Structure 1
Amino acid sequence: MEVALVTVGDELLAGDTENTNATWLARQLTERGATVARMLTIPDDRALIARWVGDFADSFDAVVVTGGLGDTPDDVTIEAVADAFDRDLEVQPEVRDRVAEKARRYREENPEYYETHDFDLDLDETAALPAGARPIQTEESFNPGCVVENVYVFPGFPGELKVMFDAVADEFGGDAVSASVATSTPEGALRHVLDGVRDRFEVAVGSYPARRGQPGRVKVTGTDPEEVDRAIEWVDEQVADPE
């Protein structure tokens, strides 16, 4: 299963917010055997989001989009995903009901907020999703996420994202497996190992330099566990540190 990740937000491109969502999602998908084939960060630009979501939806098994869900003018991800599939926005009654109930509970639990803020929530706007979308609603999220064909749309707040992803995590998977070998060999001296493992085995290979007191490592990935085992054994022999 090949997956493309799209993280949305001007704040990510400006460096105001660290893009931890991309790293977390990539790890979750890889652990489930999927292959993250693309990773893209784009601004809160409706036309640009629609273009890339549409292109990726045609090219990969699944697309995961995170960020830009909300009720402020720069939250345009839902509209952009609808544009990507040439769909209108619609309000599903059960989605609106859940949003309304969550708003009611929040009002009861936080009366002081409403006494000091002019808060007028448009339930129809908040609940609107691309026509035919499968909604994803959790207790942690106010705005719903959704699935449109092979595109999964999640919020940008990490806590909300993680819970919403967990609700559909079983829909992601694949045959990819990985193994790593730790080594103190400098990355620049590993070329013969990287070239050699590619020539000998049907696997992908990458090297990662030492950092924060941890050794470097060579990572091997493939769809045949036995082939990965053979490749990692060969790599281990090549990079083993002398006694």
Structure 2
Amino acid sequence: MAKIEIVTIGDELLIGQVIDTNSAWMGKQLNDAGFEVARVNSISDSEEEILNILKETSERSDVVLITGGLGPTKDDITKTTLCRYFNTELVFNEEVFEDVKSLLKRYVPNINELNRQQAMVPANCSVIRNPVGTAPIMWFEHKETIFVSMPGVPSEMKRALEFEIIPRLVSRFVTSSIIHKTVIVSNIPEATLADMLSDFEKEIPTHIKLAYLPSPGRIRLRFTGRGESEKVVAAEIEQLITNLEPIIGDAILGYDDKPTVQFIADIFKENNLSLGTAESCTGGNIAHQITLLPGSSNYFKGGVVAYHNDVKMGMLAVKEETLNKVGAVSKEVVEQMAIGARYNLGVDYSVTTSGIAGPDGGTDEKPIGTIWIAVGGPNGINSKKFNFGHIRERNIVRSTEMALVMLKKMVEQDLTK
């Protein structure tokens, strides 16, 4: 199987001015086509760095895909550096120039010298024309390695890779079937989960890999299998997941690689249910995550950010005596919030939060990171206390995730009754 590396060029990537989304997209497309990306490299707009990475990658990879540095300005030095590495010179390409003129004629009345420079290409490369941009794609074959230089503009890179580069690589290299299957695990720390699965992992065959992909409140267990027969590999992975289920139990949230909020959306839309939120410590983040998804208006009626106790009492009918007795961060208060939200918002289900997000405000009895979450539904209320830690943003994210997990489990249980 071909060993592929990606090289992204640009100072803006290294200083955080621009986020490298190209590599992630390229990796997925190549993986779907049966290739494996061995390494991703990000380097500066420096001739020395470019020359070094070309030399390094030529010694260890079959294919090197390069993006960036192909613009018409002085800081775009990729083409000239490629010429130096491949011991060639830039020559004028009439076909590329016609493409440049055709693309710019609606925006630029007169083609200048910088525009003309875009049609200068290394003499020993194979030119792949770019119908959506002014920089051509350049294909080099040097010793045992293929180098492809593409624009860093995502739309231009994506079209080149999808319609030109991948088809050529598929015709040149033997690929194998790659199967991915993800199991979403909720609220088990990564180290704990790894310990639970230590014996299980010993039984995984060598052509199947298990990766732990943690995020706040959840872990994606990704099985990746490779082989000549897609059907055989898929069956092997399904059997592994069957063996996994009794080990993890009800901590398995689902089998599709999607956010928890998408599970919620699917369940509520499929069963014609309605939802409302009442949030204190999460400050509306649950409602925000819900409404990020298109179609959420079909089931989400609205939410209350009840940050102050006056709002809890006035809009959610939380009792003042309860607040005075046990405080806002308590089982009693989140449950009263859930009842008030269901009634005042007129929904089937409500989800509520109240906690101490930090970094201050904690006590010995209720330390920073203490969060109470409640879910209210037609068959009652379920509430639970969590202790997430001292980092405010992380506490909000984890509280949001666990609230959605609790909501999903309650609705699923109600639907089976």
Which interval holds the TM-score relative to the shorter structure?
0.7 to 0.9
Task: State the SS of the aligned residue for 2:64.
Answer: strand
| 2:190 alignment partner in structure 1 | 187
| 1:143 alignment partner in structure 2 | 135
Task: State the SS of the aligned residue for 1:221.
Answer: strand
Would the aligned equivalents of 1:181 and 1:235 in 2 still touch at CA under 8 Å?
Answer: no
1:59-98 matched pairs, under 5 angstroms: 59-98=60-99
Query: C-alpha separation between the residues in 2 aligned to 1:214 and 1:172?
Result: 36
What RMSD, in angstroms, separates the aligned Cα atoms of the two structures?
Answer: 2.6
Moved more, 65-74 or 232-241: 232-241
Task: State the SS of the aligned residue for 1:242.
Answer: helix
Residue identity opposite 1:170 in structure 2: P
Q: Deviations over 1:17-75 (max 9, x none)?
A: 01100111111111101010110000001221122123313421211101111111111
Query: C-alpha separation between the residues in 1 aligned to 2:200 and 2:249?
Result: 20
Deviation, 1:134, is 1.5
Query: C-alpha separation between the residues in 2 aligned to 1:83 and 1:105?
Result: 35
Query: C-alpha separation between the residues in 2 aligned to 1:133 and 1:206?
Result: 39
Q: 2:225 aligns with which of 218, 221, 224?
A: 221
The percentage of aligned residue pairs carrying the same residue is 23
Deviation, 1:157, is 1.1
Query: C-alpha separation between the residues in 1 aligned to 2:213 and 2:242?
Result: 15
1:1-243 matched pairs, under 5 angstroms: 1-108=2-109, 120-149=112-141, 150-168=146-164, 169-173=166-170, 174-184=175-185, 185-188=188-191, 189-190=193-194, 192=198, 195-197=201-203, 200-210=205-215, 216-224=220-228, 225=230, 226-227=232-233, 229-231=235-237, 233-240=239-246, 241-242=248-249
| 2:334 alignment partner in structure 1 | none
Query: C-alpha separation between the residues in 2 aligned to 1:81 and 1:205?
Result: 39
Query: C-alpha separation between the residues in 2 aligned to 1:50 and 1:77?
Result: 10
Task: State the SS of the aligned residue for 1:54.
Answer: helix
Query: C-alpha separation between the residues in 2 aligned to 1:77 and 1:182?
Result: 42
Residue identity opposite 2:206 in structure 1: F
Would the aligned equivalents of 2:3 and 2:38 in 1 still touch at CA under 8 Å?
Answer: yes
Would the aligned equivalents of 1:96 and 1:124 in 2 still touch at CA under 8 Å?
Answer: yes
Task: State the SS of the aligned residue for 1:146.
Answer: strand
Residue identity opposite 2:93 in structure 1: Q
Report which of the two structures shows the higher radius of gyration computed on alpha carbons. 2
Would the aligned equivalents of 1:197 and 1:231 in 2 still touch at CA under 8 Å?
Answer: no
Which TM-score applies when normalising by structure 2? 0.51
Task: State the SS of the aligned residue for 1:171.
Answer: helix
Would the aligned equivalents of 2:210 and 2:221 in 1 still touch at CA under 8 Å?
Answer: no
Query: C-alpha separation between the residues in 1 aligned to 2:89 and 2:203?
Result: 50
Would the aligned equivalents of 2:151 and 2:157 in 1 still touch at CA under 8 Å?
Answer: yes
Flag structure 1 segments of 5+ consecutive residues without an equivalent: 109-113
Query: C-alpha separation between the residues in 2 aligned to 1:13 and 1:220?
Result: 30
Flag structure 2 segments of 5+ consecutive residues without an equivalent: 251-417
Deviation, 1:153, is 1.1
Query: C-alpha separation between the residues in 2 aligned to 1:183 and 1:103?
Result: 48
Residue identity opposite 1:220 in structure 2: T
Instruction: Flag the 1:156–1:236 CA change in 2: closer, same or farther, 3 A.
Output: farther
